[in-house]
Amino acid sequence: MERLYAFSQRLLATDNVAELLNAIPAYVCDGFGAKAAAIYLLSSQQVYRTDPKETWFPLHDLQMVSSRGEPVIDPKRGISLTPLHLGTRTTGAVGIAGPALSRATLEALGSMIGIAIGAPEPWKTFSDRSRASKREPARRPARFRHP
């Protein structure tokens, strides 16, 4: 539980999604004692790895986990893969090489990463609208204006 909390704090450290995508594999390695990690995004078909030369996670494996929506633990190869979720939508996958993680931990990682990389834009849009509504109270109907 402590490792998941520390990991979540690292995910919150930046608002820049591009920087975050490049950093997450290293965060996974640091936080969970992994040898290597990779993130695959369905929308862009991009893979972000701790080391671009590593071959722990073939693209096909990451795509398969994304399409199936279920974690895969392969003790023979020493890897675990889990889908990234944003709500009920699968947005990609994360692969971890190293000590086996529980299914619950894998699912928590998939949700945390999915939210961290998928949520900033909607929240930004919401906060922009909120700020705009505070600047333009005259446009609101009289019954909605604050005294």
Per residue of the chain (147 residues), give pLDDT as tens. 789 999 988 988 887 888 999 999 999 999 999 999 999 999 999 999 998 888 889 999 999 999 999 999 999 999 999 999 998 899 999 999 999 899 999 999 999 999 998 864 444 444 444 444 444 455 445 554 455
Listed residue (103, 127, 109, 98) closest to 11, CA to CA: 109
**Local structure of residue 137 (DSSP, 8 states):** G
Give the model's pLDDT for residue 147.
53
Asked if 75 contacts 51 with a C-beta cutoff of 8 angstroms, the reply is no
Q: Which residue matches tokens 């930046």?
A: 14
Has residue 22 been placed in a domain?
yes
Please count the structural domains in the chain.
1
Has residue 30 been placed in a domain?
yes
Has residue 146 been placed in a domain?
no
What is the CATH number for 64?
3.30.450.40
Query: Could you tell me the pTM of the whole model?
Result: 0.76
Has residue 130 been placed in a domain?
no
Sign of CA dihedral 33, 85, 107, 109: positive
Has residue 43 been placed in a domain?
yes
Listed residue (1, 34, 35, 7) closest to 20, CA to CA: 7
